[in-house]
Amino acid sequence: MSAPQERRAAVTGIGVVAPNGTSTETFWKSVQEGISVLDRITREGCDHLPLKVAGEVRAFEPADMVEERFLVQTDRFTHFAMTAADLALEEARLGRADTDAEPFSVGVVTAAGSGGGEFGQRELQQLWGKGSRFVGPYQSIAWFYAASTGQVSIRRGFKGPCSVVAADEAGGLDALAHAARAVERGTDVIVAGSTEAPLAPYSMVCQLGYDELSRETDPARAYRPFTDAACGFVPAEGGAMLVVEEIGSARRRGLPVRATIAGHGATFTGASRWAESREGLAQAIRGALDDADLAPEDVDVVFADALGVPEADRAEALAIADALGDRARRVPVTAPKTGIGRAYCAAPVLDTAAAVLAMEHGLIPPTPGVADICHDLDLVTGRARPAELRTALVLSRGLMGSNSALVLRHGAA
Amino acid sequence: MSDRITVEELSELMKKAAGITVSPAELEESYDRGFDTLGVDSLGLLGIVGELENRHGAPMPPDAERCKTPRQFLDLVNSALPAGA
């Protein structure tokens, strides 16, 4: 993305539907105060499962946000995506009339890991309970990874380039990078991000095979990365969509450039091979900084992947040290996701939203519920730390082996 | 349930299978409008056909899901139901 091109990608709108807030304002308030909303899972049909704690989106009524004709053909993860896209477009002041005037100038890129499990389960129960004649035709599209990209573009009438990134949790960052490239190639606006809804019985059973999943039943102890008490990660639902827009387009519309997507790097080191992720994540960081034409000294804050598995936490701390050198000992690191949970592909997109907001507010949000760090990191805990932030580095690793790093710059710098 | 399929039943199924609210009275006024302009897409119409087949215990004509308007649709599916059964 550092190629000598005139066109650069900015963030001009953020839409969040998260366990700790269903608007950008409530999300940021909760993140900067370090509030944890991890709690016992209350979703129907999940009581008997050995996964007890998650980040549930409770303040969300799909029927208030999405038209019925779209509700009947979509899963909860797409309800989140349509809502988050609306919120982001509203922040970016892109109304229906604006995008209808130039429908080919707006595209959609999402990443998805969990798909439409709740919808899929309902239809599979029809299949095995009553027979194939009782499976609704929307099953053919609703549980598919691509559903949110398709439905957001159809619902808003967008005709620009659309894509879906299926690259593990780190795919959330890859989707934002893909959106930035689409903007650099000539599309003015890409609505990009990820939302997930993995807290339905079928989806939860699928996750039970992950060794990295926390089985802790006490919400206050379930997700404590970078400590001796780390016992895995807590899953979450929800996510965020961003309006990624060409800087010139934003300026023509008189809109402030909140941040630029300056660089991206991605590597692959194999499923659950956490020791190897050290080298992969370090290489992704170096790639992202090179891409942004920045040096380790320029990084003002790191939003960590923070898996909560001792071997993985160690690998991440070492990767930061390997890639940032001397800067690693001084750069503040944070992981707001310990208060929200990891919403799979949406986790790094929520981190990106938090990073943009952190730069705007000059405030590094803390890592909720975490104290007594056992790694050589300056992890921000307790309360938010004021700091002048020009460059943020967001890290993500997937359970299947993907590692990604995204560099954001404050404003149009 | 082997009576003729009425405009009331079609209205109810459009809501259930496709999430489209059109009252029976409005639907009668829209008899010759395209399903697409009413907001029912091809998968929505397929869902309506499937629901009718399950309710009436009889297969609908293979062209039912290709009908363009409510009038075409009701004429076709009613012609396929066993008369007075």
Domain count across chain A: 2
Q: Is the pLDDT of residue A4 over 50?
A: no
End-to-end CA separation in angstroms for chain B: 9
- Residue A67, domain extent: 9-252
**CB–CB contact A71 B19 (8 Å):** yes
- Cβ-in-10-Å burial (0-12, 13-18, 19+) of A382 comes to exposed
- Residue B27, domain extent: 7-80
Taking the complete model, does pTM exceed 0.80, yes or no?
Answer: yes
Handedness of CA A229, A235, A241, A244 (dihedral sign): positive
Q: Is the pLDDT of residue A254 over 50?
A: yes
Mean pLDDT of A355-369: 98
Domain count across chain B: 1
E-strand spans in A212-319?
238-246, 259-268, 301-303
CATH code, A336: 3.40.47.10
**CB–CB contact B20 A67 (8 Å):** no
**CB–CB contact A68 B21 (8 Å):** yes
Pair A198, A278 in one domain: no
CB atoms within 10 A of CB B49: 23
Instruction: Provide the β-strand partners of residue A156.
Output: none
Helices (H), A325-393: 346-361
Residues of A in contact with B46 (CB under 8 A): 137
Residues of A in contact with B39 (CB under 8 A): 69
Across A30-48, b (16+ Cβ under 10 Å) vs e yields bbbebbbbbbebebeebee
Boundary-marking domain end, from A227, A252, A277: A252
Boundary-marking domain end, from A226, A252, A278: A252
Q: Which residues of chain A are at the B interface, by a Cβ-Cβ cutoff of 8 Å?
A: 67-73, 133-134, 136-138, 140-141
Mean pLDDT of A292-318: 98
Mean pLDDT of A123-147: 95
Helix, strand, coil shares of chain A, percent, nearest 5, are: 40, 20, 40
CATH code, B52: 1.10.1200.10
Pair A63, A38 in one domain: yes
**B40 inside domain:** yes
CA distance B14 to chain A (A): 10
**B85 inside domain:** no
**CB–CB contact B19 A68 (8 Å):** yes
What pLDDT shows up at residue B1? 47
**CB–CB contact B19 A70 (8 Å):** yes
Q: ipTM of this model?
A: 0.87
Q: Is the pLDDT of residue A248 over 50?
A: yes
pLDDT tens digits along A370-398: 999 999 999 999 999 999 999 999 999 99
Rounded mean pLDDT of chain A? Answer: 96
Mean pLDDT of A128-146: 94
Q: Classify residue A235 by its DSSP letter.
A: B
Scanning B4-63 for CB atoms below 8 A from A yields 15, 17-21, 39, 43-44, 46-47, 50, 53-54
Pair A141, A164 in one domain: yes
Residues of A in contact with B43 (CB under 8 A): 73, 137-138, 140-141
pLDDT tens digits along B28-77: 999 999 999 999 999 999 999 999 999 988 889 989 999 999 999 999 99
Q: Which residue of A has its CA nearest to B50?
A: A133
Q: Which residue of B has its CA nearest to A130?
A: B54
What pLDDT shows up at residue A195? 98
Interface A-B, measured as beta-carbon pairs within 8 A, has a size of: 36
**A305 inside domain:** yes
Q: Which of B11, B22, B41, B49 is best to mutate for the A interface (most A CBs within 10 A)?
A: B41
Q: Which residue of B39, B46, B54 is in closest CB contact with A137?
A: B46
